């Protein structure tokens, strides 16, 4: 068999594959590893914030204070009856004294079980939505029946936690944005460096009639491949780590922490990160190469 | 014969330096064979660069295939370049591509489907006598073999104009004869050929070839009317100016 007959499939790798490419794969792997982790943090925090909002937005506690236990119970009955008629209210449940004593046990000890100890009567109220208008109306209604009664929104108690979770969400989103910018910068540098490295080949291609877009496509293809290869490595690592942390969260048994559990849609977003970055890298490479080539003949 | 190339008072200056080419005016007829001679540094390569659109002139008019290329928008240059085959003095083969892939490059640039690339590439490899060297990388080829790959790459698309810069500069006399014979064959197929050389011995190898001589950036005998073989073995610059 002659050498001609044994010719391999013609190579389309016009840009030489070298050490630079392998370095790019690992850079992309690290970038996407960090991006997926940041995105997981952001998504988890967003889920938690959403869950807190849903749980707390429409939840109120009515507190009726009075020394006379019978009058207090009568007021509770009136308020409960009135609120049950309100279409915005989905649940009204007076908190019984035993439960109240249990809740106060860390502070009062067994003294809380003393029936003579004056304690406020409490009523849990759930609203259909958590609109401020509904809360204001219910508050007015309660205070009309029992002047001096206090209506507390659970959301207000947990505002610092909600704020912290929002900070986590913003941190995650900010890190993802920062990584996107850094990745674009790396791609731009890689494209410019590639143009310098392959200047001779590009000159030949131009002389043979290549268009700028054809040359840019070579870089796009290579950078997309590097990003996807690196992205696959980075994403697998980050997803495994995220799954590990999710399992640890579930094991904690904390209602608050469980709100950070990712949904299937969140996992899909995390899996899409390398692909989105590959598209972004391709666009950046194309823009950079075409712009640079335009300055040449 | 129609003119395929027309230069009118063309000047070329690199940066703010002196003019490398001055007042160049000539025409090239479609299907003719031209030698461009001159000593090293006379301006042959600069003139060829203007011909294959690697440079724009500082002044003057250049018409290629009937169109003014000086003011041609950059996006139209590739279309013109695909009609021109270029053999560079330093070959400019892509070092990590095999001889086969180097020769196939213009076809792939032109978007020829992969299935249609192989037959012409094999034909070219055979034509330049490298049918057994298709898989070889340029670094493993001799100077003459690299030159032949460069020539095969330049002519695989059957260009209307072939420009060769010192194509025999790196080969022995026997190979030089063979390469010039290849150019002659291509010319007989209708391609206009311009070969820059300072080797006067080559000039009488192509019967009916025209000669243009360049010296210190100025073109002498711009009509290319001088025919070979000349009366004397060498053509002194003074006689033709």
Fold classification of B1-83+160-166+191-241 is Rossmann fold (3.40.50)
Domain regions of chain A by residue span? 19-53+160-294, 66-148
A7 and B135 in contact by Cβ < 8 A? Answer: yes
A16, A208, A297: which to substitute to probe chain B, counting the most B Cβ within 10 Å?
A208
- pLDDT at residue A13 tops 60: yes
What value of ipTM does the predicted structure carry? 0.83
In chain A, what residues touch B82 (CB-CB under 8 Å)? 208-209
Q: How confident is the model at residue A110 (pLDDT cuts 50, 70, 90)?
A: confident
- Give pLDDT tens digits for A259-281: 788 899 999 999 999 999 999 99
The C-alpha atoms of residue A44 and residue A35 are separated, in whole angstroms, by 14
The three-state secondary structure class of B210 is strand
- Give pLDDT tens digits for B101-122: 999 999 998 888 888 999 999 9
Of B100, B106, B125, the CB nearest to A10: B100
Please report the pLDDT score of residue A133 as a whole number: 84
In Å, how far is A207's CA from the nearest CA of chain B? Answer: 6
B52 touches chain A (CB under 8 A): yes
DSSP readout, B124-173?
A: HHHHTT-TT-TT--GGGS-HHHHHHHHHHHHHTT--SEEEEESTTTTS-H
Mean pLDDT of B202-230: 74
Q: Compare all CA atoms of chain B with the CA of A3 and give the residue at the minimum distance.
A: B132
Of B78, B114, B134, the CB nearest to A7: B134
Place of tokens 């025409």: B27
Mean pLDDT taken over chain A:
84
Judged by average pLDDT, the poorest of A28-32, A54-58, A165-169, B5-9 is A54-58
Q: How confident is the model at residue B62 (pLDDT cuts 50, 70, 90)?
A: very high
**A–B: how many Cβ contacts below 8 A?**
76
- pLDDT at residue A109 tops 70: yes
Kindly state the percentage of chain B with pLDDT values over 90: 50
Judged by average pLDDT, the poorest of A126-135, A249-258, B22-31, B171-180 is A249-258
- Give pLDDT tens digits for A168-206: 999 999 999 999 999 999 988 988 888 888 888 888 998
In chain B, what residues touch A12 (CB-CB under 8 Å)? 108
* Pairing state between β A150-153 and A59-64: antiparallel
Q: How confident is the model at residue A231 (pLDDT cuts 50, 70, 90)?
A: very high
Q: Enumerate residues 6+ apart whose C-beta is below 8 A from A254.
A: none
Question: Within its chain, how far is the Cα of A292 from the centroid?
Answer: 38
Q: Which residues of B175-188 are buried (b: 16+ CB within 10 A; e: fewer)?
A: bbebbbebbbebbe
- Please, are residues B161 and B85 in contact by the beta-carbon 8 Å criterion? yes
**Helices A199-207 and A212-252: angle between axes, nearest 10 degrees:** 130
Mean pLDDT of B131-138: 93
Q: How confident is the model at residue A3 (pLDDT cuts 50, 70, 90)?
A: very low
Domain regions of chain B by residue span? 1-83+160-166+191-241
């Amino acid at each position: 068999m002659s050498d001609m007959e044994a010719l391999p499939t013609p190579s389309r790798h016009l840009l030489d594959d070298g050490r630079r490419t392998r370095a790019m794969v690992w850079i992309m792997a690290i970038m996407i590893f960090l991006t997926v982790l940041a995105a997981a943090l952001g998504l988890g925090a967003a889920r938690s914030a959403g869950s807190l909002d849903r749980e707390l937005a429409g939840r109120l506690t009515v507190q009726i204070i009075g020394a006379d236990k019978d009058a207090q119970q009568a007021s509770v009955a009136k308020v409960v009856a009135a609120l049950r008629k309100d279409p915005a209210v989905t649940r009204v449940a007076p908190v019984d004294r035993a439960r109240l004593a249990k809740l106060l046990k860390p502070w009062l000890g067994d003294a809380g079980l003393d029936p003579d100890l004056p304690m406020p009567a409490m009523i849990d109220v759930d609203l259909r939505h958590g609109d401020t208008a509904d809360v204001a109306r219910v508050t007015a209604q309660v205070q009309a029946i029992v002047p001096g009664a206090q209506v507390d929104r659970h959301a207000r108690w947990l505002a610092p936690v909600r704020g912290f979770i929002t900070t986590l969400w913003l941190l995650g989103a900010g890190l993802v944005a920062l990584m996107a910018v850094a990745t674009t910068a790396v791609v731009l540098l890689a494209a410019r460096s590639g143009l310098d490295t392959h200047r001779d080949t590009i000159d030949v291609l131009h002389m043979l009639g290549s268009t700028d877009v054809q040359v840019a496509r070579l870089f796009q293809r290579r950078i997309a491949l590097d990003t996807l290869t690196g992205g696959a490595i980075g994403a697998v690592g980050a997803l495994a780590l995220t799954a590990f942390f999710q399992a640890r969260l579930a094991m904690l048994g904390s209602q608050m922490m469980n709100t950070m559990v990712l949904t299937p849609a969140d996992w899909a977003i995390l899996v899409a990160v390398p692909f989105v970055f590959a598209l972004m890298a391709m666009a950046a490479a194309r823009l950079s190469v075409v712009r640079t080539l335009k300055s040449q003949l | 014969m129609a003119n395929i190339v027309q230069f009118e008072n063309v000047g070329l200056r690199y940066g703010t330096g002196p003019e490398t080419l001055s007042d160049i005016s000539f025409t090239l007829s479609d299907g003719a064979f031209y030698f461009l001679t001159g000593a090293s540094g006379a301006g042959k390569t600069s003139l060829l660069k203007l011909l294959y659109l690697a440079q724009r002139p500082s002044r003057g008019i250049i018409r290629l295939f009937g169109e003014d290329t000086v003011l041609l928008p950059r996006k139209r240059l590739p279309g013109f370049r695909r009609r021109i085959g270029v053999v560079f003095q330093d070959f400019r083969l892509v070092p990590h591509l095999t001889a086969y892939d180097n020769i196939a490059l213009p076809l792939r640039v032109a978007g020829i489907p992969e299935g249609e690339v192989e037959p012409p590439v094999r034909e070219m490899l055979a034509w330049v006598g490298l049918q057994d060297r298709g898989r070889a990388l340029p670094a493993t080829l001799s100077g003459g073999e690299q030159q032949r790959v460069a020539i095969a790459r330049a002519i695989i698309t059957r260009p209307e104009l072939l420009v060769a810069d010192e194509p025999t500069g790196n080969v022995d006399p026997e190979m030089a004869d063979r390469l010039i014979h290849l150019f002659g064959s291509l010319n007989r197929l209708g391609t206009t050929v311009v070969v820059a050389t300072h080797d006067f011995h080559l000039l009488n190898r192509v019967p009916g070839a025209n000669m243009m001589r360049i010296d210190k950036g100025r073109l002498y005998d711009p009509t290319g009317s001088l025919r070979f073989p000349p009366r004397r073995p060498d053509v002194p610059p003074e006689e033709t100016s």
